[in-house]
Structure 1
């Protein structure tokens, strides 16, 4: 997946020192189960003013508050459908309970879970290096950043996971609502309101 408005794989951008840490930034991480099912977790992290960064061979830690939004696709064939997401193992886990996600039911009993509110990672957050078909991108802040985020998430859901386009406006609305929490926190921190 190569979209012209996303210039950097996150780790490549870090190595080239091409990521501006003094302004808003957005990281999209997608983890796929390509062996047992079509299960996928997309993690959107919104952040600002990175104070420091520590990179290792396996991950990078950003010293900044991170607002994490989770979008997960759960196919009907997933065996542990009734287990809370935060209790699941490995790539199937994301830190929310069922009462903390909105659910979009799809025609073949597949589901999309989307955070009702962002998960706040205070002080620092960690991003693992992608492996085995997973991906991690940095999205530059600009006037069309929301549109770019929606296009990226929609591209994963529609092109990679073959989810119907008809539910994308609903997915985008949920993601937009989550981004509003980040924007509010940003305004409050700068004294705007």
Structure 2
């Protein structure tokens, strides 16, 4: 499978982002003190303006987001609703809005059941050390590229077993299908 992703901020600076193709922004944030991580998949349409800010870039467009959260077994806020968590650990979800996949080592993945809609505009912050932001593009296999990318991060960086990935990919693809409905 040909890789079709580019680092978002580098691509914006060089003018290499192919916004005319279907694409998604993938934001990955790792907790510096634990294996906790948040991945945010963002789809958008009808970008009116892209504005650079001191901390990142603002897209003046509706954004459709889905979240994939890796929680290690010993995460201290494991039983706190994700929307109540602080800082980079916070995602706009309640447990009843999530699909939870329990992993063999008692770690777990928390994912959005449905995309979250950010109306009007959304901001993507520049990644801090160890985090990254990519723009993934290239129809018709963009869903497979996203799953391959997310699977590589989960398996290689967070040691999620490959046997759990098909269940995770099913939820991601379901959300991507809903993105298409919203964008249609």
1:92 corresponds, among 84, 89, 94, to 89
Over 3 Å counting, the alpha-carbon distance change for 1:68 and 1:47 in structure 2 is same
Distance in 1, Cα, partners of 2:3 & 2:114: 26
2:156 maps to 1:159: yes
Contact map agreement 1:158 1:165 (CA 8 A) in 2: yes
Distance in 2, Cα, partners of 1:7 & 1:174: 21
Distance in 2, Cα, partners of 1:63 & 1:56: 12
Distance in 1, Cα, partners of 2:59 & 2:134: 15
After the TM superposition, which segments of 4 or more aligned residues of structure 1 sit over 6 Å from their partners?
none
Distance in 2, Cα, partners of 1:71 & 1:54: 26
2:128 maps to 1:131: yes
What is the Cα deviation at residue 184 of structure 1?
1.0
Contact map agreement 1:63 1:124 (CA 8 A) in 2: yes
1:6 corresponds, among 4, 7, 10, to 4
What is the Cα deviation at residue 163 of structure 1?
0.7
Contact map agreement 1:26 1:47 (CA 8 A) in 2: yes
Unaligned regions of 5+ residues in structure 2, if any? none
Contact map agreement 1:21 1:49 (CA 8 A) in 2: no
TM-score by length of 1: 0.91
Unaligned regions of 5+ residues in structure 1, if any? 188-193
User: More deviation in 141-150 or 67-76?
Assistant: 141-150
Aligned to 2:112: 115
Aligned to 1:105: 102
What is the Cα deviation at residue 143 of structure 1?
1.3
Aligned to 2:59: 62
Aligned to 1:191: none
